[in-house]
């Protein structure tokens, strides 16, 4: 048994070396341990809601394991925070009970509430952040909240206010979620290189020197992994996020006659 444990630990060490976002290592390690239990017991295990960086790194690591598969579920197609269901492929299915949805309604006409207001009200009831998925604002009507099913009854019975607005909570099916595709604005830029400092500065309309400082401070991510080098090369489909600035997607890339690059940049509004 000790020998088996050492082999598994050695395998884990090798797998974790490939994790690009070092801040995610501990969570990925825990998920890897969960995958080992799923393989040994031939059961399906579900994680809590994961942030995009941890989800991305975990999926990359789990794809290297031959005996288990993983399915990410966040309740709707554009979900950022998702739960992973991990198990053998023959027992792994999309379980509709892994994610539940609650509608929080109230009169927000005179006091609009932000994402942070709803999040703070829920966390104030003692619910841990990892038990919550996305919060989808519904304007004056309130918000939809994704949550682990076992906390649905508790939240519905305890949450009566968001900020100073009285609210009521009801469980709704996932198919009743109301969400809009993200609004975007596309434009093109011509750059000498596909470096992250060049494209991100053009996309967010800030100076290259300021973008370099943001990278140094750890405020720039590519595909939810923190960037440490200004010269990181981007490709079509990459998502660049900058703290306080938003997100940017790299669209079509074409070479110009003068040896430069014409790049489509898609800014999320």
List the CATH code of the domain at 1-88: 3.30.1370
Three-state secondary structure call for residue 113: coil
Please state, in angstroms and rounded to a whole number, the distance separating the CA atoms of residues 87 and 129: 24
* 50-98 per-position pLDDT tens digit: 998 889 889 888 888 878 889 999 999 889 999 999 988 777 765 558 9
Query: Among candidates 234, 209, 210, 207, which has minimal Cα distance to 222?
Result: 234
Burial label, 158 (beta-carbon count in 10 A; 0-12, 13-18, 19+): middle
Rg (CA), the chain: 21
Instruction: Kindly state the tokens that stand for 110.
Output: 């005179």
Q: Do domains 100-176 and 184-268 have the same CATH topology?
A: no
Instruction: Kindly state the tokens that stand for 174.
Output: 């996932």
Q: Is it the case that residue 264 has pLDDT exceeding 90?
A: yes
11-20, 215-224, 259-268: range with highest mean pLDDT:
259-268
Domain ranges of the chain: 1-88, 100-176, 184-268
∠ CA(51), CA(52), CA(54), 5° rounding?
Answer: 70
What is the model's pLDDT at position 8?
42
* 87-111 per-position pLDDT tens digit: 887 777 655 589 999 999 999 998 8
Q: Is it the case that residue 192 has pLDDT exceeding 60?
A: yes
What is the model's pLDDT at position 11?
63
Burial label, 201 (beta-carbon count in 10 A; 0-12, 13-18, 19+): buried
Contacts of 53 (CB under 8 A, 6+ apart): 21, 23, 24, 221, 224, 225, 226
Pick the CATH number of 100-176 from 3.40.190.10, 3.30.70.330, 3.30.200.20, 3.10.129.10: 3.30.70.330
Please state, in angstroms and rounded to a whole number, the distance separating the CA atoms of residues 250 and 246: 14
What is the model's pLDDT at position 202?
95
Please state, in angstroms and rounded to a whole number, the distance separating the CA atoms of residues 190 and 212: 19
Instruction: Kindly state the tokens that stand for 158.
Output: 């305890």
Q: How confident is the model at residue 224 (pLDDT cuts 50, 70, 90)?
A: confident
What is the model's pLDDT at position 4?
35
What is the model's pLDDT at position 148?
97
What's the pTM?
A: 0.73
Q: How confident is the model at residue 21 (pLDDT cuts 50, 70, 90)?
A: low
Three-state secondary structure call for residue 243: coil
List the CATH code of the domain at 184-268: 3.10.290.10
Three-state secondary structure call for residue 210: helix
Instruction: Kindly state the tokens that stand for 167.
Output: 């609210």
Distance of CA 147 to the CA centre of its chain: 15
Distance of CA 100 to the CA centre of its chain: 17
């Amino acid at each position: 048994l000790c020998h088996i444990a050492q082999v598994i630990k050695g395998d884990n060490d090798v797998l974790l070396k490939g994790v690009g976002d070092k801040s995610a290592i501990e969570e990925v390690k825990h998920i890897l341990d969960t995958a080992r239990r799923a393989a040994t017991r031939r059961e399906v295990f579900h994680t809590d809601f994961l942030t995009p960086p941890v989800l991305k790194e975990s999926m990359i690591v789990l794809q290297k394991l031959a005996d288990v598969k993983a399915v990410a579920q966040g309740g709707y197609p554009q979900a950022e925070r998702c739960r992973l269901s991990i198990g053998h492929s023959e027992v792994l299915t999309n379980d509709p009970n892994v994610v539940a949805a609650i509608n929080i309604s109230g009169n927000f006409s005179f006091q609009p509430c932000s994402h942070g207001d709803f999040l703070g009200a829920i966390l104030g009831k003692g619910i841990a952040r990892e038990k919550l998925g996305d919060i989808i604002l519904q304007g004056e009507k309130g918000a939809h909240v994704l949550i682990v099913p076992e906390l649905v009854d508790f939240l519905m019975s305890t949450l009566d206010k968001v900020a100073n607005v009285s609210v009521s909570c009801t469980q709704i099916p996932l198919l009743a979620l109301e969400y809009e595709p993200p609004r975007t604005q596309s434009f093109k830029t011509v750059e000498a290189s596909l470096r992250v400092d060049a494209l991100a500065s053009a996309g967010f309309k800030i100076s290259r020197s300021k973008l370099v400082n943001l990278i140094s401070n750890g405020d720039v991510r590519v595909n939810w992994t923190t960037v440490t080098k200004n010269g990181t090369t981007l490709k079509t489909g990459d998502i660049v996020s900058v703290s306080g600035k938003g997100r940017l997607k790299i669209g079509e890339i074409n070479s110009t006659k003068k040896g430069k690059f014409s790049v489509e940049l898609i800014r999320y509004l």
